[in-house]
Structure 1
Amino acid sequence: MLAWIAQNSWVVWLALVLVLALIEMLTLDLFFIMLSGGALAAMAVSFATDNLVVQILTFCVVALLLVVIVRPVALNHLGRPEAGQRTNIDSLIGEPAVVLEPVGEHSGLVKIGGDTWTARSADGTAIPVGSAVRVHRISGATAIVAHPENRSSL
């Protein structure tokens, strides 16, 4: 059995690649996928030489390089949105809206983009149907809106 493993070490490296990739899918840390890349490189080297020391050194060097060089770049690229890019509710603040039902201190409906939102007036004044307003802020599932010319409430 040990002789077969020594002659077919690529199978061991392939199994290690798959196990490390599976662990990466569970953790999503971009660490185990780098180790998997090292195992893939060692598997490629195993086709050229049966020397286990060379294969292990290849695994260690490639995995280390991937962890030290590639992983920080990948984490930086995946983890940080571009400057000024607003997402989710933040992207609605300042957007224009149209009043569908009269908006007052406690109730109303507005259309923001293609979506209908419950709404309240930012300063408590009544806003008639058809008025153009801007989203002042979002409170839960309610848009707090104000007339664009009413800068004091914005």
Structure 2
Amino acid sequence: MDVLSTPDTWAWIGWIVLILVFVVIEMLTGELTFLMLSGGSAAGLLSDLLGAPLWMQAIVAALAAVALLTFLRPPLLRRLHRGADERPSGVDALLGLQGLVLSRVSPSVPGQVKLTNGDVWTARSDTGIRLDPATRVEVVRIDGATAVVRAVVPRAHEKEVAT
């Protein structure tokens, strides 16, 4: 038995193992990258079954994987994420949300605000100005469990409606 012919003879087992490993990793990640690598490995397996030498199989597998990653993965990802909910969630959903000051808010002493979504948050002032109760505020950022807010200046047409 020739030592150099052994890798060529059993290369198909290596390709099948690679395909299975990539498919399992893909099932865990779901980003389609390892599925494309699995497709490249399948091309390597096919070239082995057609009698190509091991170096040619590796080149075919690499080219197929690059082609799949470049040309097939992006449209598949767009189709997969089509219709996904793009609204912000968690802390990002609070940014820009307005509310009313319940207890005095200052930069150094936190107070409380009630946001338009109904949540009551501990809050600090962003601008260095003390905000008294019933002042309209907007969330600028979240620091841990504290909302950093600034006063909202009513627009001209809102002043007319309010008076």
Q: TM-score range by the shorter chain?
A: 0.5 to 0.7
Letter in 1 for 2:16: L
Alpha-carbon contact 2:131-2:151 (below 8 Å) kept:
no
Question: CA, structure 1 residues 8+150, in 2 after alignment: closer, same or farther (shift >3 Å)?
Answer: closer
Aligned pair partner of 2:137 in 129, 134, 138: 134
| 1:14-53 Cα distance to aligned partner (Å, 9 max, x none) | 211123445678999976543222113444x37xx83231
Matched, 1:107 2:110: yes
Number of corresponding residues = 136
Name the structure 2 match of 1:148: 152
Name stretches of at least 5 consecutive residues in structure 2 with no aligned partner: 79-86, 156-163
Structural mapping, 1:1-154, within 5 Å? 6=9, 9=12, 11-21=13-23, 32-43=34-45, 45=46, 50-53=49-52, 56=57, 58-70=60-72, 73=74, 89-99=91-101, 101-105=102-106, 106-112=109-115, 113-121=117-125, 122-128=127-133, 131=134, 133-138=136-141, 140-141=143-144, 142-149=146-153
Q: State the TM-score, normalized to the length of structure 2.
A: 0.53
| 1:124-143 Cα distance to aligned partner (Å, 9 max, x none) | 33422xx3623252252322
Q: State the TM-score, normalized to the length of structure 1.
A: 0.55
Alpha-carbon contact 1:24-1:32 (below 8 Å) kept:
yes
Note the C-alpha offset of 1:59: 2.7
Identity %: 30
RMSD: 4.6
